């Protein structure tokens, strides 16, 4: 197992800001934009998604998301991130976000996503974030995160095991929601 800085295995890029992008460019339908409010703990919160047209995404193509990208919010709950899956491939990175794109083919994105969700890493991010009224994250802080990296096979095994557990938790939550709805109908 080796330890590397996140910046050694990934490119980090802030979202479009200033004159690059305006909220006036949002449209009622089109390409979804992941903003801070859409970032959960490893997942995307689809409620409240906003959209841009294809012309905007083409103009800001460096902010087009790809499968395996990891997106952090730059403000607020800075320890949260989402992993881009095939479903979100081609979506756009929002203004107050930082995209992490792995550059080392021997690194498994799902493993890195789970690793970044560990309490130790979240505490490091929260303790390093700047700002007196609201925590703020930048590419330097994020790039300085130490990643303990096992070999490819171990990364895959770990991420697969954790994904299986997540799927079981999600299935149980759906069952609980259903049973709760049924019991309220009977009562």
pLDDT tens digit sequence for 124-149? 999 999 887 888 999 999 999 999 99
Q: Are residues 139 and 156 in the same domain?
A: no
Coil, helix or strand at residue 91: coil
**What's the number of domains the chain is made of?**
2
CATH for 59: 3.90.220.20
Q: Are residues 141 and 172 in the same domain?
A: no
Residue among 85, 43, 55 nearest 67 (CA): 85
Q: Are residues 158 and 90 in the same domain?
A: no
63, 64, 65, 71 alpha-carbon torsion, rounded to 10°: 20
pLDDT tens digit sequence for 42-62? 999 999 999 999 999 999 999
The one-character DSSP state at 134 is S
Q: What does the alpha-carbon distance between residue 108 and residue 30 come to, in Å, rounded to a whole number?
A: 30
Q: Is the pTM of this model over 0.85?
A: yes
Q: Are residues 106 and 44 in the same domain?
A: yes
Q: Are residues 74 and 159 in the same domain?
A: no
The pair phi, psi for residue 163, each rounded to 5°, is -65, -40
Give the sign of the dihedral formed by CA 137, CA 80, CA 161, CA 89.
negative
Query: Can you give the residue range of the structural domain that contains 62?
Result: 2-149
pLDDT tens digit sequence for 153-182? 999 999 999 988 888 887 777 777 777 887
């Amino acid at each position: 197992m080796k330890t590397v800085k996140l910046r050694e295995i990934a490119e980090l890029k802030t979202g479009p800001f200033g004159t690059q992008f305006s909220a006036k460019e949002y449209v009622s339908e089109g390409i979804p934009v992941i903003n801070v409010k859409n970032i959960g703990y490893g997942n995307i919160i689809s409620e409240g998604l906003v959209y841009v047209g294809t012309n905007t995404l083409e103009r800001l193509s460096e902010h087009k998301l790809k499968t395996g990208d990891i997106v952090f919010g730059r403000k607020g709950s800075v320890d949260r991130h989402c992993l881009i899956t095939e479903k979100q491939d081609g979506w756009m990175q929002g203004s107050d976000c930082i995209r992490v794109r792995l550059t080392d083919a021997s690194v498994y994105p799902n493993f890195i996503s789970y690793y970044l969700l560990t309490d130790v890493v979240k505490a490091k991010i929260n303790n390093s974030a700047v700002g007196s009224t609201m925590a703020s994250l930048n590419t330097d802080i994020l790039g300085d995160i130490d990643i303990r990296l096992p070999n490819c096979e171990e990364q895959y095994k770990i991420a697969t095991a954790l994904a299986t557990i997540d799927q079981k938790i999600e299935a149980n939550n759906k069952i609980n929601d259903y049973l709760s709805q049924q019991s309220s109908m009977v009562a």
